[in-house]
Amino acid sequence: MQLEISAHSSLCLVIGDPVSHSLSPAMHNAAYAACCLPFVMGGAQVRSGTLADAMKGVRALGIRGLAVTMPHKVSIMDLLDEIDPTAATIGAVNTVVNNGGILTGFNTDWIGILRPLEKLTSLRGKKVALLGAGGAAQAALYACGSQGASVTIFNRSLEKATTLADRFNVSVLPLEKTDELAAFDIIINTTSVGMAPEIDASPVPESALRREQIVFETIYAPVSTKLLRFSQRAGASTITGLDMFLEQGAAQFHLHTGVKAPRDEMEKILRRSLGA
Ligand code: ATR
C-alpha cells in the first residue's frame, strides 16, 4: 500500500544528463510504496555547467537524497560536505544523503558488482578480466580488489587503462588480446560494446569463453546482450546488468531511507520496465 504523497514527503532526485532514460525513479518509488515510506523520487536533467547551482538547490529545498548518474559522478565530489572513504578511494559518487543540511557522498556501484558475484563464488584468489576502463571499471576494480581477487584490465585505449591500472596496482592488456581470456575465472564487461542501439556487438568472441567462467555484463539495456548469449552458449555462468543495477539501487535505497530494500518489488519493476 502506498502512502499518500504529501507536504511531509521526503524528496529524492536522480540527477544526470541525459536523465529521462533513468530507471531509478521507477525502482525507488516502487520500493517506497512496498515499504509504506513517505518518500518520492523524481528526475532532474542537470547540465554540467549548472551542477553547482543544482546542489545549492538541493540544500535550499532540503532534498533528502540523490541518485547521481553520468556525467556528474566525479564532479559532484567537490560540492559535498563529506565523502565516504570507499567513494573517495573509487573516485566517484553515485549516491548523496542529506542529513540535516550535511551532504555526504557514497558509492554503491561497487556493491552492485560485488553482491551478484558473491552469490556465485568467493573472489579470494580469483583471476578477473575487466573489460573497459571507464567509471564502471573503477567500481569493479574496488569490488574485486577489496575481496582479494587479482585483476587485469583489457581496454581498447591503453593510455586510459594504464592510468587506472596504476591507481589500483593492476596490469593491462589490449582489448583485442582475447586469446588470453581463457586463463581467467571471471570476465566483467564494463565497456559500452553491446549497448542499445548497437546491440549486435560483443567485446569478445564466443570462442574466448569457457564453461568454467563467470561472465558479468554491466549493460542493462538490453538485458540480454550478445556477450551474455555467447556466454550462455559456452555454458558459462552469467550475471546481468539488471542484477548490478538492482543491487546498487538496493544499497542506495538503504542509505536514503535507513530501511532494508524490498529487492523483489524492485526487481519486478525493473524487469517490467526493461521488458525482461
Ligand atoms: P562508463 O563510465 O559507463 O564505464 P565510459 O567512461 O564512457 O563509460 O567508458 C566506456 C568504456 O567502453 C571505455 O573503456 C571505452 O574504451 P576506451 O577507453 O578505449 O575509449 C570502452 N569502449 C567504448 N566503445 C568501445 C568500442 N567500440 N570498442 C571497444 N571499447 C569501447
Q: Where are the domains of the chain?
A: 10-107+245-274, 110-239
Report the residue among 131, 172, 191, 202 best suited for mutation to probe ligand 1: largest number of ligand atoms under 8 A from its CB. Answer: 191
Average of per-residue pLDDT across 134-142: 95
Predicted pLDDT of residue 4: 82
Could you please state the CATH topology (level 3) that the domain comprising 110-239 is classified under.
Rossmann fold (3.40.50)
Answer yes or no: is the C-beta of 268 below 6 A from any ligand 1 atom. no
| Domain 110-239 in the same topology as domain 10-107+245-274 | yes
List, for residues 192-218, the tens digit of each pLDDT value: 999 988 899 999 999 999 999 999 999
Distance 9 CA to ligand 1 centre (A): 39
Helix pair angle (109-120, 241-257), 10° resolution: 120
Mean pLDDT of 244-262: 98
- Residue range 28-39: average pLDDT? 97
Contact 222, 199 (CB under 8 A): yes
pLDDT above 80 (res 2): no
94 touches ligand 1 (CB under 6 Å): no
pLDDT digits (tens, 9 = 90+) for 145-154: 999 999 999 9
Question: What average pLDDT does this structure show over 99-126?
Answer: 98
User: Residue 245 and residue 183: Cα distance in Å, rounded?
Assistant: 28
160 is catalytic: no
pLDDT above 70: percentage of residues in the chain:
99
pLDDT above 90 coverage of the chain, percent:
96
The protein residue whose alpha carbon is closest to atom 8 in ligand 1 is: 134
Q: Quick check: CB of 156 below 6 Å from ligand 1?
A: yes
**pLDDT above 90: residue 95:** yes
Write down the catalytic residue from 73, 126, 160, 268. 73
What confidence score (pLDDT) does residue 155 get? 98
Rounded mean pLDDT of the chain?
A: 96
- pLDDT at position 162 over 90: yes
Which atom of ligand 1 is least distant from the CA of 138? 4
Q: Is 162 in the pocket of ligand 1 (CB under 6 A)?
A: no
The residue whose CA is least distant from atom 6 of ligand 1 is: 134
Please choose, from the candidates 248, 219, 245, 249, the residue with its C-alpha nearest in 3D space to the C-alpha of residue 231: 219
- At residue 276 the predicted structure's pLDDT band, cuts being 50, 70 and 90, is confident
Taking only the tens place, the pLDDT of each residue in 61-76 is: 999 999 999 999 999 9
pLDDT tier for residue 239 given thresholds of 50, 70 and 90: very high
Above 70 in pLDDT, residue 125?
yes
Any atom of ligand 1 within 6 Å of the Cβ of 136: yes
What local confidence, expressed as pLDDT, does residue 196 receive?
86
Q: Give 194's contacts (C-beta < 8 A, 6+ positions apart).
A: 201, 202, 203, 217, 219, 225, 226, 227
* CATH classification (class only), 10-107+245-274: alpha beta
